[in-house]
Amino acid sequence: MPGMLYADRIGHTFYMPDGALPALHNVTFAVAPCSLVCVVGASGCGKSTLLRILAGLLKPSAGRALLDGSPIEGPSPRVGMVFQKANLMPWRTVERNLTLPLELNGVPRAEREARAAALIELVGLEGFAGAYPAELSGGMAQRVAIARALIYRPGVLLLDEPFGALDALTRERLGSELLRIWQASGNTVVMVTHSIQEAIFLADRVIVLSGRPGEIVLNLEVPLPRPRALDVVHSAGFGALSARVRAAIGA
């Protein structure tokens, strides 16, 4: 069941030995069920911090995050998280990496394997169930990470620059893949990215954070029709949208 996220005046300050470091300030936005929202902003503006708060990994110092109306107080099986690095366990095969979340929850083996098989197909890794992470390319590893986040059947999928470490071509391909997976699994998705083009191509809504502390400077709806083909990036509408996002980041 797709979830609805709400960030309610979230602020966060890190207290370091050499002073306070405000990372986020008064961040408020809503993510509609089944929608895909991208968060962009300069490096260090608090994007990962925001995502960690939404994932329940970090308690914000101000405001709160809500999932379907109730406060997020810790990690929940309703929220799947994909980190910047694939974060796979090198000693587990692809299949056993996928089923780790289920193992931790005592799901019986037969069901674990069935779900893993379905997800391996969904992310297009047929034939690699028994491979170890060291035998995968960066893009393949990231697909495994996405599949692992989906295995709980979470309502919300959070992705922190999942394609950040990949080359441009693989990145484009995986972006289209993500759209396909998103449509097939019907999740609510929040994704952090560095790339304006990627954000507009993927998202229903693009949220732009300013430099430190991160504050929302633009919450832009992307009215481009779906399904989107890769060449949508050359359209006039796309150009206008990316000009607005770029201006907001620069401001």
Ligand X SMILES: Nc1ncnc2c1ncn2[C@@H]1O[C@H](COP(=O)(O)OP(=O)(O)OP(=O)(O)O)[C@@H](O)[C@H]1O
Give contact residues for other proteins (rule: CB under 8 A).
Answer: 55-57, 74-77, 81, 83, 85, 87, 89-92, 100-101, 103-104, 131-132, 134-135
Q: Do the Cβ atoms of 54 and 190 come closer than 8 Å?
A: yes
Return the C-alpha torsion angle 211, 212, 214, 216, nearest 10. Answer: -40
Question: What is the CB-side half-sphere exposure of residue 94 using CA atoms within 13 A?
Answer: 26
Which option in ligand X, Mg ion, other proteins, none does residue 166 bind, with CB closer than 5 to 8 A by kind? none
Q: Which one, 41 or 133, has the nearer CB to ligand X?
A: 41
Q: Which one, 95 or 160, has the nearer CB to Mg ion?
A: 160
Residue 13 interacts with Mg ion (CB under 5 A): yes or no: no
Q: Nearest residue by C-beta to ligand X?
A: 48
What does the alpha-carbon distance between residue 198 and residue 125 come to, in Å, rounded to a whole number? 23
What does the alpha-carbon distance between residue 152 and residue 1 come to, in Å, rounded to a whole number? 11
Question: Minimum distance from CB of 90 to Mg ion (Å)?
Answer: 23
> Which residues, numbered 29-88, are part of the site for ligand X (CB under 6 A)?
41, 43-49
Question: Minimum distance from CB of 27 to ligand X (Å)?
Answer: 11
Question: Minimum distance from CB of 160 to Mg ion (Å)?
Answer: 6
Work out which of 5, 7, 10, 23 binds ligand X, going by CB under 6 A.
23
Q: Which of 249, 233, 221, 240 is nearest to 35 (CA)?
A: 221
Question: Minimum distance from CB of 230 to other proteins (Å)?
Answer: 31
Which option in other proteins, Mg ion, ligand X, none does residue 46 bind, with CB closer than 5 to 8 A by kind? ligand X
Residue 87 interacts with Mg ion (CB under 5 A): yes or no: no
> Which residues, numbered 20-59, are part of the site for Mg ion (CB under 5 A)?
48
At 228, give phi and psi (nearest 5°). -100, 130
Which option in other proteins, Mg ion, ligand X, none does residue 57 bind, with CB closer than 5 to 8 A by kind? other proteins
Query: What residue ranges bind ligand X (CB under 6 A)?
Result: 14, 16, 21, 23, 41, 43-49, 212
